[in-house]
Structure 1
Amino acid sequence: MKRIIREARLADMDAIMQVFSAAKGIMRKSGNMHQWGEGYPSEDVVKADMEKKGAFVVEEEDKVVGYFAFLPSPDPTYNRIYDGKWIDDEQAYHVVHRIASYPEVHGVFSSILDFCSSLDRNIRIDTHRDNTIMQHNLLKHGFTYCGIIYLLSGDERLAYQRV
């Protein structure tokens, strides 16, 4: 199977929303009951990613099987970190947000990180405390837990970085 990553288009919106729905199902099955509540991520969030040229889909055989945002720094929620510190707090970085895929499609996380790493070596990601699947994947792929950040909403997230 040939897998490609490309910029998302408005025409992909229905497929992206279906991927988010499947990802929420994975989260709920694994005990992550609070991350990505009703209405999030929304089409407006994806459109905002698109406007920043940071919305990407993962395709296999012309079917969207994954989505992620890859956005350049600065990210205001990463300005302050608690109970830890960033590995590199001097250089510019990119943030990966909204990673989602179908549960039956394997290796999407690795494909996303390979793509992102080809564009920037300094990558930050945050995740919900209940998202044990993401935490496992981050550590497996060489990320280091750095501390806690707070979203603009005030919600806590565990912060990771790979340099």
Structure 2
Amino acid sequence: MEWLILGVLGFWLLASVLGAVLVKSPVHSILFFLSAVLAMAGIFLSLGAELLAGLQLIIYAVAIVVFYVLVITTIPWEKVKRFEGVYRREFLMGLPVVLVVFALMGYMVLKGKLAQPSEAVQDNVRELGKTLFTSYLFPFEVASVILLVAMIGAILLGRKEE
């Protein structure tokens, strides 16, 4: 059953990544990216890495997606549309690299020994989580407020004058 869940989440992740790369609309690309982040967090949860899943959701699903939305709202898309097109030369140069990397990763997964967490590692993760959510909670909250103010300021500066 675990392999079925991992397979469904892996297929969801691959479909989302391909969607994020291949769609033309920047808004749809961000939605596919958010879907990929959620699928990756699901994979972490299915593998028993709850801290990584939480950090994945907090860092990527919240912070990075907000920054991408900020970029979309501030870029003048009329200028970008002039450069639309398929980059065939770059695709043909990058395809062998991607295939070699996937072949190496597949070999490492099939033939390599995957790390098994020990008790010491699990204790470190528990202590890290406790420290992050007790001692360092206030700095994280201050950073989130600063990012929110920066986002609002960039939207106000980037809007068109009427």
- The TM-score by the shorter chain falls in which range? under 0.3
TM-score scaled by length of structure 1: 0.24
RCO higher in structure (CA 8 A, sep ≥6)? 1
Higher strand share: 1
Higher helix share: 2
